[in-house]
Copies of this chain bind each other. A is one copy, B any other.
Amino acid sequence: MNNLKIVFTIGIVSLSTLFVACNSMKVGMDNQRGNEPAFPKGNKITNNNFVGTAWITMMVTDSVYNTSIGTVTFEPGARTNWHKHPGGQILLITDGQGYYQEKGKPAQLLKKGDVVEIRPMIEHWHGATPQKTLIHIAVGTNTVKGSVVWLQQVSNDEYLRATMTTPKNPTTNN
């Protein structure tokens, strides 16, 4: 019985040590590795061109570059309205999971590392999946050709259909 007591005590002490040590390591790794996104989440988007909650940081707006660059964070379920860009747009997916859809085509599943090329005046939308946040860098190209043209909302029906199609993404590099 005495031996059992010793074993039990040592067991409890070891498990506590394991718990504390692993948690210290976890905190240390988080700090060292800089797991936070590279660019800040920025400001909550409050206009009517989005459904759900999304955030934006504009990083480049100077017209000398003929290019605009911003980071957009879509919370789960959030998406843009349908829209088009007179000069085109590139999306660089830096984290999470989402959708990209062009009018008349099935939606494509987006994941970290995907690159989406959106040609001028192609009607489209992008946003997060119902379960995951999507973070992308949006590069507006040939901005001298004009600003984004906003159109109707992506209806719940359209969004629901997007959640049911997950083909291999043909317009991305991965």
Contacts and interface: CB of A to CB of B under 8 A. Distances in A.
Interface of A: 2-3, 6-7, 10-11, 14, 17-18, 21-22, 25-26, 29, 33-35, 38-40, 59-60, 62, 64-67, 69, 87-88, 90, 92-95, 112-113, 115, 117, 119-120, 137, 139, 141-142, 173
Contact of A22 (B2, B22, B40): B22
Contacts of A66: 66, 87, 141-142
Q: What does DSSP make chain A's interface, helix, strand, loop or mixed?
A: mixed
A34 B94 CA distance: 10
B7 A60 contact: no
Given A7-B10, A18-B21, A38-B95, A90 B113 contact: no
Chain B CB count within 10 A is highest, among A2, A11, A173, for A173
Contacts of A10: 7, 10-11, 14
B117 A90 contact: no
